[in-house]
């Protein structure tokens, strides 16, 4: 079955450490996205990529970095510069380079806890 | 910029009650509109969508009509079930810009 795989489901890190969240899709989608979800704040866009080797900052990119070397993969690194990294992180993809009519397909998320 | 405003929750209903979750939007052009649902501990799933004015999206008994004159896309269901308990997100997309989400409305349905 086609879909998006995020791993791991739960991740624990000490403050000051960088951590990388994995996102892989086998839907052959062009566009991929990272959102952060916090209670009562909905989803906020961190980074997105509409084609391989290109990506754009979203609304809250500070303290995060991404790469898009392969169509299937869009890893997110949470750096030590991110002030409040504890959150639920969602990866998504869509076809047609993210055209407005193309819905997003989401992974099941990674819950990151930094202490 | 584009934005979505949806009613705040939580919303608590008895089984078989009628559901309405209000959603209004602000956009410069003609966006596509979506409703997503998130079950506990999971990612979001597309529930329904509408891509132009007066379109009605429907799925699993849920409906929403794209109303350009009132810039609204309210979600409705005639008879909710316990299994509908989830968080519902209204969202819009314009051109090839990423989806903009509302803050979500938590629905709890009690037997």
Map chain A to HEC letters: CCCEEEECCEEEECCCCCEEEEEEECCCCCEEEEEEECCCCCEEEEEEEEECCEEEECCCCCCEEECCCECCECCEEECCCCCCCCEEEEEEEECHHHCCCCCCEECCCEEEEEC
Task: Tell me the residues of chain B between 36 and 55 that have a Cβ less than 8 Å away from chain A.
Answer: 36, 41-46, 49, 51
The reported pLDDT for the residue numbered A19 is 95
Contact A112, A86 (CB under 8 A): yes
Spell out the per-residue pLDDT of chain B, length 111, in tens: 889 999 888 999 999 999 999 999 999 888 999 999 999 888 999 999 999 999 999 999 999 999 999 999 999 999 999 999 999 999 999 887 889 999 999 999 999
pLDDT for the residue numbered A66: 98
B17 CB within 8 Å of a chain A CB: no
Average pLDDT rounded to a whole number, residues A42-70: 95
pLDDT at A1: 63
């Amino acid at each position: 079955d086609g879909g998006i795989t995020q791993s791991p489901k739960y991740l624990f890190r000490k403050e000051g450490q960088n951590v990388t969240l994995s996102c892989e899709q086998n839907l052959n989608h062009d566009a991929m996205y990272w959102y952060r979800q916090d209670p009562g704040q909905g989803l906020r866009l961190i980074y997105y990529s509409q084609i391989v080797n290109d990506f754009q900052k979203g609304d809250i990119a500070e303290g995060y970095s991404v790469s898009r070397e392969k169509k299937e993969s869009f890893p997110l690194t949470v750096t030590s510069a991110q002030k409040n990294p504890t959150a639920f992180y969602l990866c998504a993809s869509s076809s047609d380079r993210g055209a407005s009519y193309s819905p997003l397909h989401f992974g099941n998320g990674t819950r990151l806890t930094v202490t | 910029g584009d934005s979505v405003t949806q009613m705040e929750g939580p919303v608590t209903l008895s089984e078989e009650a009628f559901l309405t979750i209000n959603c209004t939007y602000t956009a410069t052009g003609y966006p596509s509109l979506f409703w997503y649902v998130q079950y506990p501990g999971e990612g979001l799933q597309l529930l329904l969508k509408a891509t132009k004015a007066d379109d009605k999206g429907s799925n699993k008994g849920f409906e929403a009509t794209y109303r350009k004159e009132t810039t609204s896309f309210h979600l409705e269901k005639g008879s909710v079930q316990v299994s509908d308990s989830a968080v519902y997100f209204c969202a819009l997309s314009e051109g090839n810009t990423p989806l903009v989400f509302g803050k979500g409305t938590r629905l709890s349905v009690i037997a």
